[in-house]
Amino acid sequence: MILDVRNLKKSFPTSGDPVIILDDVSLSLNAGEVIALTGESGSGKSTLLHIIGGLEPAKSGQILFQGDDIIALDDNQRANIRRKSIGIVFQQFNLIPSLTVRQNLTFQARLSERGDDVDLAALSASLGLDTQLDKFPEDLSGGQQQRVAIGRAIAAKPQLVLADEPTGNLDEATGRSVFDLLVRLARETGAGLLIATHSQALAAAADRRLHLTHGKLTS
């Protein structure tokens, strides 16, 4: 097991009672396993991924990853783990516009000090981007940009990949191929992949599906 989330609670303050978003959420993820996370808009999928990725605090619970509890760490330690061991793919691609495809692909790996280990030729070939390396993000289609974002996330071979509706801005066919690529690369690198999606068809391709509703996870 690479990730073990136990009894996670998260709420947001309001003018009245706090709104509970995650109510005792527990899940575990094995190396090489793909879990699809579904749930209505506003059910807390992004919140859950952000907390696991150390981008947002939680009220209580544990997130055990590589022998650490991500919740108990300080911001620096959390950032360090994220840089070294977690790849994150967002809905809005989030590429760096002033960097080329090549530079975007190696960016995360450089931060994790594994930039020299990246086999850019193999990576760009498996992403179908080998002829695009000197282009800038604005010159790419949405599907191509998301493939760069996937490449950036997995270049340093993280143990854990978190993807938040990575196909949400893509048409159905492109979304399917991007989803399949992400799953294939995660499996090849042995990473565990947790992927939030609105698409039941895509979720069906995962090893397991978890559904978030009213703060609770059900399978």
Ligand X SMILES: Nc1ncnc2c1ncn2[C@@H]1O[C@H](COP(=O)(O)OP(=O)(O)OP(=O)(O)O)[C@@H](O)[C@H]1O
Judged by the rule CB under 6 A, the positions of this chain that interact with ligand X are 12, 21, 39, 41-47
* Minimal distance, residue 85 CB to ligand X, in Å: 23
Nearer residue to ligand X within complex by CB, 55 or 120: 55
Element (DSSP H or E) covering residue 152: helix 142-154
Count Cβ atoms within 10 A of the Cβ of residue 171 and give its class: 0-12 exposed, 13-18 middle, 19 or more buried: exposed
Which 118-177 residues touch Mg ion, going by CB under 5 A?
A: none
* Minimal distance, residue 118 CB to ligand X, in Å: 30
Q: Which residue is nearest to Mg ion (CB)?
A: 46
| From candidates 38, 46, 126, 197, binder to Mg ion by CB under 5 A | 46
Q: Which two tokens stand for residue 156?
A: 């340093």
Nearest CA-CA partner of 166 in 209, 212, 201, 197: 197
Nearer residue to ligand X within complex by CB, 101 or 161: 161
Nearer residue to ligand X within complex by CB, 41 or 76: 41
Phi and psi angles of residue 61, each rounded to the nearest 5 degrees, phi first = 115, 180
Phi and psi angles of residue 71, each rounded to the nearest 5 degrees, phi first = -70, -30
Nearest CA-CA partner of 124 in 98, 97, 103: 103
In sequence order, what are the beta bridge partners of 141? none
- 47 makes contact, choosing from Mg ion, ligand X, none, with CB < 5 to 8 Å by partner type, with ligand X
Nearer residue to ligand X within complex by CB, 39 or 87: 39
- 21 makes contact, choosing from Mg ion, ligand X, none, with CB < 5 to 8 Å by partner type, with ligand X
- 11-19: long-range contacts (C-beta < 8 A, 24 or more apart)? 11/59
* Minimal distance, residue 119 CB to ligand X, in Å: 34
* Minimal distance, residue 11 CB to Mg ion, in Å: 17
Cα dihedral angle (94, 100, 101, 102), rounded to 10 degrees? -130
Nearer residue to Mg ion within complex by CB, 21 or 101: 21
Residues that bind Mg ion (CB under 5 A): 45-46
